[in-house]
Amino acid sequence: MSGHRRRPPQRSNSGARRAAPQKKRWIDYPHRDRTGPRRWLPSVRQLLGLFLLCFGATAAAVGYAYATITIPDPNPRTLLQNNVYYWSDGTVLATDGTVNRQNITLAQVPADVQWDFIAAENSSFYTDPGIDPQGILRAVANMAAGGSVQSGSTITQQFVKNTYLDQSQTVSRKFRELLISTKIGASMSKQQILQGYLNTCFFGRQANGIQAAARMYYNRPVEKLDASQGAFLAAAVNEPSLFQHADSDPTARARAQARWSWVLDRMVKIGKLTPDQRARYAAAGFPAPGKWTSGSGLTGETGYLVQLARSYAETHDRDITDNSLSRGGYQITTTFDRKRTAQLAKSVAAVRAARLDPAHRSADRNVQVGAASVEPATGRILAVYGGPGFDHAHYSDNADTVGVPVGSTFKPVVLAAALRHGAVLRPGEPPASITPASRFDGDDGIRIKDQQGTYVTDDKDPTGLLHQHNDTPRRWGYITLRQAMEQSVNTPYVQLGEDVGYQEVARTAEALGLRSDSLAAPSAGFYIGTSTPSAIRMAGAYATFAASGVQATPYSVTRVTRNGSALPGFKAPAPVRALPAAVADNVTDVLRGVIARGTGTKAAALGRTAAGKTGTTDDYRSAWFVGYTRQLATSVVLFREDPAHPQLQSLVGVGGLQKVFGGDIPTDIWTRYMGDALTGLPDTPFPAPAPLGRGADEPGVPRPSPSESHDKKGDRTRRTDSTGRPGRPGKWPSSTAAPTPAAPTAAPKCRQYRCR
């Protein structure tokens, strides 16, 4: 037995190296089999996988966002517009509202102007899906290279930003803009998007939208822009705060001119402008914008004009209300003549300065003037004077107010009714023919009879009878209606009115355009002016005489559009025949005498063929003059009223006068204004009045003797005695006078009233 011990087998080094392999990792990063920096460098396969993973996740996120995002409601501010009121010549009269925007349809924008914006902002507009990544990159590169400023957003994106989002410069806002733009591009037509974009862009000068911009920069509607002006506006979108001063700031002008030239070059590049056209615009020069003036406020007469236009619009379209007007969007074209409105205000101011002294004469305080001027052939209200203005806390339009009696300016209405319908001169007989030569008793204090021969009563007279008075106690005797009109004698027209009858006179007044609610109730005073039509309506009534009996209702609005679409119902009122031409022309002939030799002789200073009538009411609470030529009818009213206590006060003492008549201050204003307003127009004669034949006289007038003289109008004016000397105009001999009337019986009461 051996003594040697067995040695255990030895493990080799190679066996150790062949130990069991480790489990392989899914992502070998960092690399196990690499050392140093190489251990941390990702492989190409890893990079590709990471890219695909990120792209997929991003696509999934964007897809989810696109699927879940909705087009929001438009910003409330983008829905706001203002209302714009235009003079008859198309220039802006006034605006109201907080945002200067007037939406229009794309059809109103000339095609060249549309392409100005597309060329400048997004030439691929009609082919892109609403976003243009290449355009964004191109804009960034161009600006980085020092080129002109370009927007990286498409027109669709800008429309979305303006209409649905805000102007913040954040990634989240930009991301929403891209998503909504894509949806908008898929759901709206390109025409709708372009229209919305042009209506929401800000152009500077407080102008939101291209219509407001066209007005603010070029004082014209968008329809009248050309490609050159459109290029300037397209340029202004990028730098509105600078370009708005291109009229006065040399730096702004130079930048604007360079950008304008670039836009026109872009038009040529995309084939929307020929090189020849481009050259013509270059030769014409840079279309410099007009001077920037702030928006028109409701100062001076502007407030009354806007008030009239709004009222007319609301009356003729039930959908136009104060509420809808407060939301804006209306463009209202008026009949108002800018030049004549200024001339009327100037005339009132001149007479006030010359005749009134409120600082030293208490009677001259609170004196109010109202005036209106109407075109007889059409009824267009050309000018009004409503007072000192809203900015002077005078909110009531004196030209459109009711409550001021018209006095003797109503007498022509009575005469027209009598010439047309005749008068019941004897109870039980049919109406007799009346002409301006018909004679009536003109004495002061006479008693008045109705058609039944009953004396009219007066509850203010102790006898219970109405004793009608004139302005003076002069004994006129029997005088013609012509002379009574010229001298504004009351008694013949009160009796004539009773003989014609209230209904016929009222119907004639309404046919002439006076509103029924402005006419006074039946009374003796009704025939000499207790009614209270407005100055506008009185001018319209006399315009009917000027137009030989054709009545054109006064109107103030010719066109109303909203959001670019014209609204129906604003066609000019169709003129209608209110009086036979023979009647109207004879009234005019009588009213010419008022100016030639009557109470309105101050109006003769006009130096033109004109007709008119003065009016002064009881206790001198108002004074009127209404007159006309063939081209223009104008009314002027003077009254006193404390704005804090709206009640008519006496005019006694106004202008230092003891008695204030319509033939004084109102006629002075009328003459000054008409002289300016008719400058350059021919002195057009009135038609010769057609003969009316022999008219009947009031009972009690004796037959004319052979020695009675006649004036050139055929009116009997006076009688002569046996020597041929003129006698006193007045009563005929007592042997031929009418018998004493029977005792009075009960009759409707009316108040005594004096007018002149």
Q: Is residue 518 within 8 Å of residue 413, measured between CB atoms?
A: no
The sign one gets for the Cα dihedral 544, 546, 549, 552 is: negative
User: How far is residue 27 from each of residues 24, 30, 176, measured CA to CA in Å?
Assistant: 9, 8, 36
71-96 average pLDDT score: 83
Q: Is residue 660 within 8 Å of residue 636, measured between CB atoms?
A: no
**Is 70 a residue whose pLDDT tops 60?**
yes
What pLDDT sits at residue 599? 96
**Is 24 a residue whose pLDDT tops 70?**
no
What pLDDT, in 10s, does the model give residues 497-538? 999 999 999 999 999 999 999 999 999 999 999 999 999 999
User: How far is residue 282 from each of residues 56, 118, 232, 306, 375, measured CA to CA in Å?
Assistant: 53, 20, 13, 41, 45
Q: Is residue 582 within 8 Å of residue 608, measured between CB atoms?
A: no
Stated pTM of the model: 0.76
What pLDDT, in 10s, does the model give residues 615-656? 999 889 999 999 999 999 999 999 999 877 778 999 999 999
Q: Is residue 630 within 8 Å of residue 686, measured between CB atoms?
A: yes
pLDDT above 90: percentage of residues in the chain: 58
Which amino acid is located at 339 in the chain?
Answer: K
Domain 101-284: give its CATH superfamily.
Biosynthetic peptidoglycan transglycosylase-like (1.10.3810.10)
703-716 average pLDDT score: 49
**Is 729 a residue whose pLDDT tops 60?**
no
Cα 620 from Cα 129, distance rounded (Å): 77
For residue 521 the two structure tokens come to 């109730």
Q: Quick one: how far is CA 217 from the chain centroid?
A: 22
- Residue 240: closest CA among 66, 432, 100: 100
Confidence of residue 714 (pLDDT cuts 50, 70, 90): very low
Which amino acid is located at 101 in the chain?
Answer: R
Angle between helices 250-269 and 227-236 (to 10 degrees): 120
Q: Is residue 420 within 8 Å of residue 434, measured between CB atoms?
A: no
Instruction: For residue 15, report the phi and psi dihedrals to the nearest 5 degrees.
Output: -65, -35
**Is 51 a residue whose pLDDT tops 80?**
no
Please tell me if the domain spanning 101-284 has the same topology as the one spanning 407-531.
Answer: no
**Is 356 a residue whose pLDDT tops 90?**
yes
**Is 392 a residue whose pLDDT tops 90?**
no
Q: Is residue 406 within 8 Å of residue 615, measured between CB atoms?
A: yes
Confidence of residue 453 (pLDDT cuts 50, 70, 90): very high
For residue 217 the two structure tokens come to 């920069």
What pLDDT sits at residue 228? 95
What pLDDT sits at residue 276? 94
Confidence of residue 30 (pLDDT cuts 50, 70, 90): low
**Is 1 a residue whose pLDDT tops 80?**
no
3-state secondary structure of 163: helix
143-157 average pLDDT score: 63
**Is 702 a residue whose pLDDT tops 90?**
no
Least confident of 171-185, 224-238, 275-289, 411-425: 171-185
**Is 662 a residue whose pLDDT tops 90?**
yes
What pLDDT sits at residue 55? 66
For residue 468 the two structure tokens come to 């009608």
* CATH class, 407-531 region: alpha beta
**Is 270 a residue whose pLDDT tops 90?**
yes
Q: Which residue has the higher pLDDT, 296 or 338?
A: 338
- Residue 692: closest CA among 454, 445, 435: 435
714-722 average pLDDT score: 37
109-119 average pLDDT score: 95
For the chain, what are the domain ranges? Answer: 101-284, 407-531
Q: Residue 636: in which H helix or E strand, if any?
A: strand 633-642
**Is 713 a residue whose pLDDT tops 50?**
no
210-227 average pLDDT score: 93
Highest mean pLDDT among 180-194, 534-548, 558-572: 534-548
Q: Which residue has the higher pLDDT, 627 or 29?
A: 627
**Is 571 a residue whose pLDDT tops 60?**
yes
- Residue 653: closest CA among 637, 671, 642, 665: 665
Cα 542 from Cα 39, distance rounded (Å): 106
48-76 average pLDDT score: 64
**Is 34 a residue whose pLDDT tops 80?**
no
24-39 average pLDDT score: 65
Instruction: For residue 190, report the phi and psi dihedrals to the nearest 5 degrees.
Output: -60, -35
Q: Quick one: how far is CA 309 from the chain centroid?
A: 4
Highest mean pLDDT among 55-64, 295-304, 383-392: 383-392
